[in-house]
Amino acid sequence: MCSRLRIMKVNKQIPVSTLLLFLAMGVFAQPSERRISKSQYISNWKEEAIFQMHQNGIPASITLAQGILESAYGNSELAKYGNNHFGIKCHVWDGPTMFKDDDHTDDCFRVYASASESFKDHSEFLTKRGRYAFLFELKSTDYKGWAKGLKKAGYATNPRYAHLLIDLIEKHHLYIYDKVEGLPTTKPTLLSIEREVKREPNKHRVGVHENKIKYIVVSTGDTFWKIAKEFDMGLWQLYKYNDLGKNDILQSGDIVFLQPKRRRGKSKKYRIKNGDTLRSVSQDYGIKLKALRKKNHLEYGSELKVGTFLSLK
């Protein structure tokens, strides 16, 4: 990712008429313009970071810290001229680009029509690449785990990348935004956020599945939101860990896993009974639905035949 950038070159593929339009609209900011302050950058983008957190499961503190570090609080040439706040390079990209020296001479970087598009693309960049998948199994408040994981996955080449992110999060108290349950209408303070997320003691007894996964049994009146709040989890985690969607409804007696299911079960095979679904077997044996489908060469929506066997290992 982008570290210290130098000479800028605008992609020649951008038509001259488009460049003139950008200039007229003020997209390409002048070097003499006033610098964005640290507090102003956080104030400008905290709600976008919180929105992305609720949509995609990336801690708001991580998004803000990466934006701060990669864009120098929005003051870097890449941010001012290309609306690129996260140093994301071209890779597979059909949009306009900029070329700047980074890891190599004339590295190619993405250019966005607005900074908001950069925040959206940052979320898509992390959610759609397999090497970052393990990060989404962390708690939404584990900013240290995310920072170290981003470095481990190769987001940046700087060996101190994780330390720099953690330092920014703690210096500016960005972790308070990880605990906001909805978009704030006013700037929250550390004290108000701590009061907002103060929780009652856990009401559910936590069990451990034979496949070594923590779970609870749903009680009457339970909702995803209540369970997520009780165990300090994101809604996306409950949906993902249990192969459910936002429109699914919990029933009393259901098993809800609080951790990711495994890729294999303890037993070798399972004989399909009447009423079984692939998901019900997945829940019963604590195996990821995707892994169970892959092991048995089943397409999405395939029907199970009573009496046949499913491989669990």
Q: Which amino acid is at 153?
A: A
> pLDDT tens digit string along 275-292?
888 888 999 899 998 889
Distance, in Å, from the CA atom of 163 to the CA atom of 153, rounded to the nearest integer, reads: 15
Q: Which of 161, 190, 219 is the last residue of a domain?
A: 190
Most confident of 17-26, 68-77, 85-94, 240-249: 68-77
More reliable by pLDDT, 273 or 106: 273
Q: pLDDT above 70 covers what percent of the chain? A: 82
What local confidence, expressed as pLDDT, does residue 196 receive? 44
222 located within any domain: yes
Decide if 129 is inside a domain: yes
Residue 1 lies in a domain: no
Q: How far apart are CA 243 and CA 169, in angstroms?
A: 32
Q: Verify that 157 and 123 share a domain, yes or no.
A: yes
pLDDT at 11: 47
Q: Same domain, yes or no, for 304 and 249?
A: no
Looking at the structure, tell me whether residues 99 and 239 fall in a common domain.
Answer: no
Tokens of residue 241, six digits: 């860990």
Report the chain's mean pLDDT, rounded to a whole number. 81
pLDDT over threshold 60, residue 24: no
Predicted local distance difference test score (pLDDT) of residue 28: 43
Q: In this predicted structure, what is the pLDDT of residue 256?
A: 92
Same domain, 20 and 156: yes
Domain contains 263: no
Model pTM score: 0.55
Give helix 161-171 / helix 143-152 axis angle, nearest 10°.
160
Kindly provide the b/e burial profile for residues 50-74, where b requires at least 16 CB atoms within 10 angstroms of the residue's own CB.
bbbbbebbbbbbbbbbbbbbbbbbb
Rounded Cα distance between 84 and 70, Å, is 9
- List the CATH number of the domain containing 179: 1.10.530.10
Residues 40 and 127 in one domain: yes
Q: Per mean pLDDT, which range of 12-21, 73-82, 164-173, 175-184 is the poorest?
A: 12-21
pLDDT at 186 over 80: no
Query: Is residue 236 domain-shared with residue 281, that is, in the same domain?
Result: no
Domain of residue 305: give its range. Answer: 269-311
Total domain count, the chain: 3
In a domain, 66, yes or no: yes
104 with 227: CB under 8 angstroms? no
- CATH number assigned to the domain comprising residue 290: 3.10.350.10
Task: State whether 26 and 171 are in the same domain.
Answer: yes
Within a domain: 50: yes
Same domain, 105 and 180: yes
Predicted local confidence at residue 189, as pLDDT: 54
Q: Pull the structure tokens for residue 275.
A: 């009423």
Domain co-membership, 46 together with 86: yes
Within this chain, do residues 305 and 180 fall inside the same structural domain, yes or no? no
Q: Indicate the residue among 140, 160, 190 that finishes a domain.
A: 190
**pLDDT band per the 50, 70, 90 thresholds, residue 184:** low
pLDDT in tens, 120-169: 999 999 988 889 999 988 888 899 999 999 999 999 889 999 999 999 99
252, 167: one domain: no
Same domain, 48 and 177: yes
Asked, for residue 199, whether it belongs to a domain, the answer is no
- Whether 202 maps to a domain, the answer reads no
Q: Of the given ranges (93-102, 180-189, 295-304), which has the lowest mean pLDDT?
A: 180-189
- CB 131, CB 225: distance < 8 Å: no
